[in-house]
Amino acid sequence: MNGIPERARESLGERPVLVAVGHGSRGPQHEQTIGQLIDAVRRARPGLRVETGWLDLVRPPLAQVLAGLDAPAVLVPLLLGGGYHVRVDIPAVLAAAPGVRARVARALGPHPLLAEALGDRLAEAGWTPGGAVVLAAAGSTDPGANADTARMARLLARRLGSPVVPSYLCAGAPTPAEAVAELRRRGHDRVAVARYLMAPGFFGGRAAAAGGCVTSPPLGAHESVTRLVLRRYDDAVRPTVAPAPPTGRSVSR
Q: What is the pLDDT of residues 28-72, one digit of tens each?
A: 899 999 999 999 999 999 999 999 999 988 899 999 999 999 999
- Report the largest interatomic distance among the alpha carbons of the chain, rounded to a whole angstrom: 68
The model scores a pTM over 0.85: yes
Does position 199 have pLDDT exceeding 90, yes or no? yes
φ/ψ (deg, to 5) at 98: -65, 135
* DSSP 8-state code for residue 67: H
Does position 5 have pLDDT exceeding 60, yes or no? no
Collapsing DSSP states into helix, strand and coil, what is residue 78?
Answer: coil
81, 138 Cβ separation under 8 angstroms: no
Q: What is the reported pLDDT for 182?
A: 97
Q: What is the reported pLDDT for 24?
A: 78
Does position 248 have pLDDT exceeding 70, yes or no? no
Least confident of 22-31, 114-123, 234-243: 234-243
Confidence of residue 241 (pLDDT cuts 50, 70, 90): very low
Confidence of residue 205 (pLDDT cuts 50, 70, 90): confident
CA 164 – CA 166 distance, rounded (Å): 7
Q: What is the reported pLDDT for 14?
A: 64
Q: From its phi and psi, is residue 211 left (phi > 0), alpha (psi between -120 and 50) or beta?
A: left
Does position 141 have pLDDT exceeding 60, yes or no? yes
Least confident of 11-15, 38-42, 60-64, 76-80: 11-15
CA 52 – CA 59 distance, rounded (Å): 9
CA 121 – CA 126 distance, rounded (Å): 9
Query: Which residue stretches of the chain are H helix?
Result: 6-11, 28-44, 62-67, 84, 90-95, 112-125, 143-160, 176-185, 202-208, 223-237
First CA to last CA distance, the chain: 51
CA 176 – CA 167 distance, rounded (Å): 5
102, 66 Cβ separation under 8 angstroms: yes
Instruction: Tell me how many degrees the CA angle 19-24-27 measures, rounded to the nearest 5.
Output: 135
